[in-house]
Structure 1
Amino acid sequence: MRMLFGIVLAALAVSAQAAPPLQRLSLPPGFHIAVYSDQTPGARELARGPDGTIYVGSNAGQIYALTDTGHDGRADRVRTIARGLRNPIGVAFHDGDLYVSAIDRILVLRDIGDHLSDPPKPQLVTDQLPDKAHHGGKFLAFGPDGKLYVPVGAPCNICEPPLPFAALWRMNPDGSHRELVARGIRNTVGFDWQPGSGKLWFTDNGRDMMGDDMPSDELNRVDRLGEHFGYPYCHQGDTPDPEYGKGHPCKDYAPPAAKLGAHVASLGMRFYTGTMFPARFHGAILIAEHGSWNRSKKSGYRVMAVRVKGDHVLQQVPLVTGFEQNESAWGRPADVLPLPDGSVLISDDLAGAVYRVTYRSPTS
């Protein structure tokens, strides 16, 4: 009995420690954040089905489906719909099917919305991707053209890899007709299309081991297919690489639309298309900053809003901060997902949670 009592106490202690300490977070006046689910270990990319189901990729080998049956802003049912996959951080919903990345392959769960309790076995879309684990996790998204966009990161911190590495690709939903979208990209783990212009914007993680404050992560915009964004020759649009930069002037490559900060690990990004948030956030780019691992003072660990007008970046402002205090992090944002009601979900792979941000005017 004493042993059983001890086990129960230990379980309660673990549960208490695992509860995300949302009281540590700071948001602008009128904004509120709450737990949508705290049962998603390793939560990474988010995707929404037409019935409102939220699909969550993870770095824990699993894919989750979250259902808010009470329509109260919190998932009351969490189902694991795939297991044993290789770093399946990316998920994208398309025509009733859920596409999943798994390092060297793309898989699909057919007609998943009707089979959440008895999920189908993942089918292979393509296995014609490199099997390198370094920067091998893949954010996925379907573009306005109906194509599946798939990045292939550089298999290193800094090197001169051949294609298909360090590039963003697109393909048909069946994996055929792969086409180069952009290259010279160290590792993008977030991209989206701008409402109105239809232009593709993406985050890119800067290289390591050039000091605390160099180089910056980038926010980039693709103006033409096949553009080269500098890696490994030029960083942040103006800094030649000390090893690979000679003979490769930065003017030869597409400059970033904005510098996001050194080592902040800018991951998932989406344009805010809702109307719940104040007008200054309408059309802004929301970016999950996963946070630094090799900086003497931590940076990132927050969600930023980047205000844009057409092709121009106007301002960068914090939306959610406080995942790290006093050089200790309890959370690491990985993706953002605006919902039809104007609220925004945020995934956190360290706390294993998904949060929901809402807004209500302080004067209302």
Structure 2
Amino acid sequence: MKKMSLVVALVIIAAAFTTKPIIDEPIKKVLKPDVDNGGIKLAKGFGAVVVAEETGKARHIVVLPNGTIYIKNNSAKDNKGITILKDTDGDGKADIKEYFGNYGGTGIEVYNGYLYASSNSEIFRYKLDGKGDVIDKNAPETVVSGLPDFRQHESKPMAFDEQGHLFVTIGAPSNICQEKDRQKGSPGQMPCPLLEKNAGIWQFDANKLNQKQEDGIRFATGIRNAVAINYDSFSKNLYALQHGRDMLFQHYPEMYSAEQGAELPSEEFLLVKKGSDFGWPYSYFDKDKGKKMLCPEYGGDGKKEYTKADKPIMAFPGHWAPNDVLFYHGNQFAAKYKNGAFICFHGSWNRAPKMQAGYFVAFVPFKNGLPSGPYEVFAEDFAGGPEIKSPGDAKARPMGLAEGADGSLYITDSVKGKVWKVIANK
């Protein structure tokens, strides 16, 4: 009897040493949405599980094939610039929450075995092990440093293609490149000197360390600020969404009504090619006219067209603040979502006299690399009510998007760092 017990004990001990960690092969359970979908309203046929709450001022997010989640936080306090979430029991909710990184920022991606993360002036990377864990959290490698950081449109979101190119947004530290920024009556600078090192997308070598801005190339220009940027592996295209300018009505009430100022300029969905010029600061896009219009600071009157800029592939009402875009390649959702784009609208602050708007996730169907139909509201009610007078009133603001290995959709909130996992109801 004692001999048999010894054999059993040895078998149990051996199994303990040969079994892979749970994090490598997550327990698979049939997920059930939270009763209230975590407080948001979703398109018919979908539910949501709250993965975590209060992770920080969450910005962009990436989810590894094994389910490990990395989130970039806008500000870092007590070394909490990056959040790690793990679900070890397969119920969809994170039971491990860790932090590292002593810098804030927006961008976070995984490329070629590294976790890349951005501050407002640098791009760092961390080597990942076979489990998707950062090997040394205290010693990131510097990929790019010294990028412009003027405390306005300062975030540095990024994207990668298959050729090893790293694309980084460098926003304009200005509304419309006036001689005196945001001052009524101040003319626009011609030519705009900010275009030399700002207001565009720069391309770097993703595999090279210690680069400066001059080591990269200006891939595209005339983009005021594009927090939402992504390379679509299916169409092989780079896309971005631009934050349009402010103050058309406030500075030019003789040309624009308050209602027009709330809707203009349109937020632009851009297909970005090498050499693209989308016209900032000289123009803005009017979706109702379907044209680029000359800005009043450069001689426009609300009627003069600007013909020297590339047009967007789609446009949305003004001041919705698109902050992330994701092309869906999973199989969990219905066929109509395949290869289409999800867009996070972070919400407006300057649409008076109209109510503030945005604060939702949209879906745009795609075909042959271009939108094939109108946008649909996919997820909403993040803000907690239809009448939001200012961003500070919002309970949550959708910010980042990621796709899980199972085809689920993750959404982050920038107010307190809530994270939702959206699944198709079975």
TM-score, normalising length: structure 2:
0.75
The gaps in structure 2 that reach 5 residues or longer are: 1-35, 178-191, 249-260, 286-290
For 1:148, the equivalent position in structure 2 comes to 166
Instruction: Render the CA deviation track for 1:80-104: whole Å, top value 9, x for unaligned.
Output: 0212x1x321111122222111112
The 5 A counterparts of 1:15-164 are 22=37, 24-61=39-76, 62-83=81-102, 85=103, 87-111=104-128, 116=134, 119-159=137-177, 160=192, 161-164=194-197
- Quick one: which of 235, 242, 257 aligns to 1:197? 235
For 2:325, the equivalent position in structure 1 comes to 269
For 2:299 and 2:40, locate their aligned partners in 1 and report how far apart those are by CA, in whole Å.
Answer: 41
Contact 2:38–2:49 (Cα < 8 Å) also in 1: no
Larger Rg: 2
- Range moving further from structure 2, 117-126 or 257-266: 117-126
For 2:268, the equivalent position in structure 1 comes to 218
SS of the residue corresponding to residue 215 of structure 1 reads: coil
TM-score, normalising length: structure 1:
0.87
- Quick one: which of 279, 291, 295 aligns to 2:335? 279
Alignment-mate amino acid for residue 55 of structure 2: T
Q: Structure 1 residues 265 and 245 mapped into 2: Cα distance closer, same or farther (>3 Å)?
A: farther
- Quick one: which of 343, 363, 368 aligns to 1:310? 368
Q: Structure 1 residues 93 and 245 mapped into 2: Cα distance closer, same or farther (>3 Å)?
A: farther
SS of the residue corresponding to residue 195 of structure 2 reads: coil
For 1:198 and 1:137, locate their aligned partners in 2 and report how far apart those are by CA, in whole Å.
Answer: 25
- Quick one: which of 348, 359, 367 aligns to 1:301? 359
Q: Structure 1 residues 310 and 117 mapped into 2: Cα distance closer, same or farther (>3 Å)?
A: closer
Contact 1:148–1:170 (Cα < 8 Å) also in 2: yes
The count of aligned residue pairs is 338
For 1:127 and 1:355, locate their aligned partners in 2 and report how far apart those are by CA, in whole Å.
Answer: 33
Q: Structure 1 residues 22 and 350 mapped into 2: Cα distance closer, same or farther (>3 Å)?
A: farther
Instruction: Render the CA deviation track for 1:22-73: whole Å, top value 9, x for unaligned.
Output: 5642112211012111141101111233443211001122111111222222
Q: More strand by proportion, 1 or 2?
A: 1
SS of the residue corresponding to residue 264 of structure 1 reads: coil
In the alignment, is residue 341 of structure 1 matched against residue 391 of structure 2?
A: no
The gaps in structure 1 that reach 5 residues or longer are: 1-20
In the alignment, is residue 239 of structure 1 matched against residue 293 of structure 2?
A: yes
- Quick one: which of 321, 332, 357 aligns to 2:380? 321
